[in-house]
A and B are shown apart, each in its own frame.
Chain A
Amino acid sequence: MTVPAEHMLVLAAILFAIGAAGFFLRRNVIVVLMCIELMLNAANLSLLAASRMHTLEAGVTAPSLEGPLFAIFVIVIAAVEAAVGLALVIALYRNRQSVNLEDVAELKD
């Protein structure tokens, strides 16, 4: 049994919405970073779904690798981003004893 591509897209949309909501509403840097991961993975999922839809529509039996390829790139970038982001969070905590984004608004004005 195969999962229909439409279901994958709906799941990706739900994941993205949860990630976006967390990104906008939460103030904890770590949670915000996690939400970004969530959105990236939503994007990955939609890429895979699109890849499958494309394969089926074209009527070719061999699965297209373009979508998974993009997804792999995004995962790599996301890993790097998470590493840098967490390093920043640690540096931030050392300086401010806080990981609240409202305390970090130096670029204001």
Chain B
Amino acid sequence: MLLQVPPAHVPAGIQESAAFDWMWWIPFLPLVASAVCGLLHFMTLRQRAAKNPRPVDTHGHDDHGHSGHGHDDHGAAAHAVHDDAHGHADDGHAKVAPGIGALAPWVAALSMLAAFGLAIHGWMTLGHLEASARFLRSSAWDWISAGSLSITIAMHLDPLSSVMSLVVTGIGSLIFIYAAGYMSGDKGYAKFFAYMSLFAFSMLMLVMSSSLLGLFIGWEGVGLCSYLLIGFWYEKGWPAEAGQKAFIMNRIGDACFLLGTFLLVRVFGSLDMSAIAAGVPGKLVDGLATPELFWAGLLLFGGACGKSAQIPLFTWLPDAMAGPTPVSALIHAATMVTAGVYLVVRLNPLFAASPDLLAIMGVVAALTAFVAGSTALVQRDIKKVLAYSTVSQLGYMFLGLSTGAWAAAIFHLVTHAFFKALLFLGAGSVIHGMHEEQDMHKMGGLKKYMPRTFITFLCGAAALSGLPLMSGFFSKDEILGHAFAHGGLYRALWGVGIITAAMTAYYTWRMVALTFFGTERFDTHKVHPHESPAVMTLPLMVLAFLSLVGGLLGLPPVTGATHILEKWLEPVTRTGTEILARHGEHELGHDAEWVLLGLGAAVALYFAHLGFKNYKVGKQLDESITVGTPRTAAFLADAWTIDTKYTRWIVQPIKLIAFVIAVVVDQFAIDGLVNGVAALARDIGQRWRRMSDGQIATYGLWMGAFTALIAILLMWKS
């Protein structure tokens, strides 16, 4: 694009042309918007400072007085965090006139819509081509060229990145519009859109880069924006710490990712993902991956575990709810956390080639889905329910991947993006209407106050719980069907999956009942719930529509319909599917498929009903009716105490080591050495200064003595 240098390596079967330069605008429009919004924020601050010569944030200082420490376990103690949040809520939303920053949402949303338009254009361009020719590339320049390794900065558009870019820009646009209403009055209004646009840029780089290095740039970029946005209300203290936690836990995964990348360079001599995917079959021994490929895949999966919040690196996602709700919807539900799924699908032959790796992935995924699902059963904070639900649903996606159901995982990714974004935005609308209240125990009966939010939320809940014919029903049952068909270990994972499906239905409708039904459990004289403005409810309606009809993308073949998404993704997933097919086909009979569909529908309906029935009267029946004993409930509420154990067994020892290093190694040894050398020099100086007493005779004596010494030495030597 910038320098028309012919790229060194374009894998076969990919069209490379300057005619595709428009692809660059998909990520770069949000980048431009980000810069403009940043400028607007700067101008707003100048404007404010001119109007108000005193420091603008005088009220900010009292807030962090007690929050500088002692919040290490806030992830574990969800309720404590929540109370804390409530205490600060007013400060976080002190209404401030936006000034010129009011332009920011326009800039951001319009650029996202334009990017969405371009993504549609890309999708249609691909649609006009032969299925096997749907790989377009626009190269900019050779970034790194060392020996045989050459890394080109290039945009890559194929069916998979097309789907991802549509999801990111489409849902992103809706969330930007919503955020224009949700964030109004915030003193960082323009800054928020700057960060969000920067996130959109990074995410689009992630899904459209041709090489793993370009993907990694986006990967780190979304991590950075996630950190910035989780800690957006950093003055409260604990969001800043939640941001750090997310950042650090992601670093663990990123280290794995990088190591996996290095291994891939070693094996393939290239970081071009198309080249790697195409090169895997040639590197196999007896149709199986070599240990190097296995480790590369495992390490990349480790990176995916960090970004996509799988066990053991999932504990940051619930804490990430400290960010503003549109952030939770866009980053921590719809897009960024699905990056790991995207990565696995992108490199599907690598994973398909080692059944052991797939089994590890399947076990991790099922375990994550189950643990997070059961935790969501007893959460009181509406956003925590959705957060654990997201972790659980991501587990479903990885379960699908572990059975080689690449298209099913992407299908669930897409439908989940629809309904989880909807649910988060709906929850945001509720929180907004309830004056920053997040505790469902203090809600109830909201359906008459906010009817539009209620109806749309119902659509999202129906889709998430997998009620028949909703989008979540088809995507979830497709994944479970694949797991069932695989047999063996996967049959057990299917069992875990169906239990998780039951829990999903249960906690979803518990949430609906606690929030919208029953009696008002808040002081109706003080709190006046109100419907959110149209700018917020309109995106909800669009998403509700998508949640309802999203299932059309992947109707089960047994019904005679075409699985649109599977057919669309076939050029990308073909290699992996072929490798898997060598280990044996797994096809379900039609009868079995109908039975599974029916079972899924029945489980969803029964448990949705149960969850709703148990909680429609209010909170008094809470945990005991769900999980038996308060002890179990506390265990579950703490996410199986995993985070507490991390704090105790990993964080505390590391802090202890850090303390030891700070005191013993740094202060004692290193500082001691440095100060010791200085003291030694000073001491020697103190003694030797007596030599210069100001008497010429003394100086002369020294001079003469040493001259004589040198003379004697010279005579003695000769």
Would you list 25 pairs from A and B whose C-beta atoms are within 8 A, ordered by A residue?
A20-B704, A23-B697, A23-B700, A24-B697, A24-B700, A24-B701, A24-B704, A25-B697, A32-B696, A101-B695, A101-B696, A101-B697, A102-B695, A104-B694, A105-B693, A105-B694, A105-B695, A106-B694, A107-B692, A107-B694, A108-B692, A108-B693, A108-B694, A109-B689, A109-B692
User: 6 additional contacts, CB 8 Å, given A24-B697, A104-B694, A108-B694?
Assistant: A24-B704, A25-B697, A106-B694, A107-B694, A108-B693, A109-B692
Which residues 519-554 in B have Cβ within 8 Å of A in the complex?
A: none
A-side contacts of B692, CB under 8 Å = 107-109
Chain A residues in the interface with B (C-beta under 8 A): 20, 23-25, 32, 101-102, 104-109
B-side contacts of A107, CB under 8 Å = 692, 694
B-side contacts of A24, CB under 8 Å = 697, 700-701, 704
- The residue on A at minimum CB distance from B700 is A23
A-side contacts of B694, CB under 8 Å = 104-108
**Interchain CA distance A92-B654 in the complex, whole Å:** 70
User: A89 to nearest B CB, angstroms?
Assistant: 13
**Interchain CA distance A23-B692 in the complex, whole Å:** 17
- Please list the 7 inter-chain residue pairs (A to B) with the smallest Cβ-Cβ separation, ordered nearest first: A105-B694, A108-B694, A107-B694, A24-B697, A108-B693, A101-B696, A23-B700
Chain B residues in the interface with A (C-beta under 8 A): 689, 692-697, 700-701, 704
A-side contacts of B704, CB under 8 Å = 20, 24
B-side contacts of A109, CB under 8 Å = 689, 692
**Interchain CA distance A109-B700 in the complex, whole Å:** 17
A-side contacts of B689, CB under 8 Å = 109
User: B705 to nearest A CB, angstroms?
Assistant: 11
**Interchain CA distance A64-B687 in the complex, whole Å:** 51
User: B185 to nearest A CB, angstroms?
Assistant: 68
- The residue on A at minimum CB distance from B704 is A20
B-side contacts of A105, CB under 8 Å = 693-695
A-side contacts of B695, CB under 8 Å = 101-102, 105
User: A108 to nearest B CB, angstroms?
Assistant: 3
**Interchain CA distance A7-B701 in the complex, whole Å:** 27
**Interchain CA distance A105-B698 in the complex, whole Å:** 11
User: B173 to nearest A CB, angstroms?
Assistant: 77
B-side contacts of A25, CB under 8 Å = 697
A-side contacts of B696, CB under 8 Å = 32, 101
**Interchain CA distance A107-B693 in the complex, whole Å:** 7
**Interchain CA distance A104-B694 in the complex, whole Å:** 7
User: B694 to nearest A CB, angstroms?
Assistant: 3
In this complex, which of B692, B693, B696 has the most chain A Cβ atoms within 10 angstroms of its Cβ?
A: B696
User: A14 to nearest B CB, angstroms?
Assistant: 17
User: B685 to nearest A CB, angstroms?
Assistant: 11
B-side contacts of A20, CB under 8 Å = 704
**Interchain CA distance A60-B697 in the complex, whole Å:** 44
A-side contacts of B697, CB under 8 Å = 23-25, 101
B-side contacts of A32, CB under 8 Å = 696
- The residue on B at minimum CB distance from A23 is B700
**Interchain CA distance A79-B700 in the complex, whole Å:** 21
- The residue on B at minimum CB distance from A104 is B694
- The residue on A at minimum CB distance from B697 is A24
- The residue on B at minimum CB distance from A103 is B694
A-side contacts of B701, CB under 8 Å = 24
**Interchain CA distance A43-B180 in the complex, whole Å:** 97
**Interchain CA distance A73-B694 in the complex, whole Å:** 31
- The residue on A at minimum CB distance from B701 is A24
A-side contacts of B693, CB under 8 Å = 105, 108
- The residue on A at minimum CB distance from B694 is A105
- The residue on B at minimum CB distance from A109 is B689
**Interchain CA distance A23-B696 in the complex, whole Å:** 9
B-side contacts of A108, CB under 8 Å = 692-694
B-side contacts of A106, CB under 8 Å = 694
User: B650 to nearest A CB, angstroms?
Assistant: 58
In this complex, which of A20, A32, A104, A108 has the most chain B Cβ atoms within 10 angstroms of its Cβ?
A: A108
**Interchain CA distance A20-B700 in the complex, whole Å:** 9
User: B704 to nearest A CB, angstroms?
Assistant: 7
**Interchain CA distance A20-B694 in the complex, whole Å:** 19
User: B712 to nearest A CB, angstroms?
Assistant: 16
**Interchain CA distance A106-B692 in the complex, whole Å:** 10
- The residue on A at minimum CB distance from B696 is A101
In this complex, which of B693, B694, B701 has the most chain A Cβ atoms within 10 angstroms of its Cβ?
A: B694
**Interchain CA distance A105-B693 in the complex, whole Å:** 7
**Interchain CA distance A107-B701 in the complex, whole Å:** 16
**Interchain CA distance A109-B692 in the complex, whole Å:** 7
User: B89 to nearest A CB, angstroms?
Assistant: 67
User: B169 to nearest A CB, angstroms?
Assistant: 76
**Interchain CA distance A105-B696 in the complex, whole Å:** 8
User: A98 to nearest B CB, angstroms?
Assistant: 14
- The residue on B at minimum CB distance from A108 is B694
**Interchain CA distance A24-B522 in the complex, whole Å:** 101
B-side contacts of A23, CB under 8 Å = 697, 700
User: B2 to nearest A CB, angstroms?
Assistant: 66
**Interchain CA distance A106-B695 in the complex, whole Å:** 9
In this complex, which of A24, A101, A102, A106 has the most chain B Cβ atoms within 10 angstroms of its Cβ?
A: A24
**Interchain CA distance A102-B696 in the complex, whole Å:** 9
User: B609 to nearest A CB, angstroms?
Assistant: 94
- The residue on A at minimum CB distance from B698 is A24
User: B703 to nearest A CB, angstroms?
Assistant: 10
User: A92 to nearest B CB, angstroms?
Assistant: 12
In this complex, which of A25, A32, A104, A107 has the most chain B Cβ atoms within 10 angstroms of its Cβ?
A: A107
User: A9 to nearest B CB, angstroms?
Assistant: 15
**Interchain CA distance A83-B41 in the complex, whole Å:** 76
**Interchain CA distance A24-B708 in the complex, whole Å:** 15
User: B43 to nearest A CB, angstroms?
Assistant: 60
User: A77 to nearest B CB, angstroms?
Assistant: 18
**Interchain CA distance A23-B695 in the complex, whole Å:** 11
User: A53 to nearest B CB, angstroms?
Assistant: 17
User: B713 to nearest A CB, angstroms?
Assistant: 20
User: B147 to nearest A CB, angstroms?
Assistant: 63
User: A104 to nearest B CB, angstroms?
Assistant: 7
B-side contacts of A102, CB under 8 Å = 695
- The residue on B at minimum CB distance from A24 is B697
User: B706 to nearest A CB, angstroms?
Assistant: 14
**Interchain CA distance A101-B698 in the complex, whole Å:** 11
**Interchain CA distance A104-B700 in the complex, whole Å:** 15
**Interchain CA distance A24-B696 in the complex, whole Å:** 8
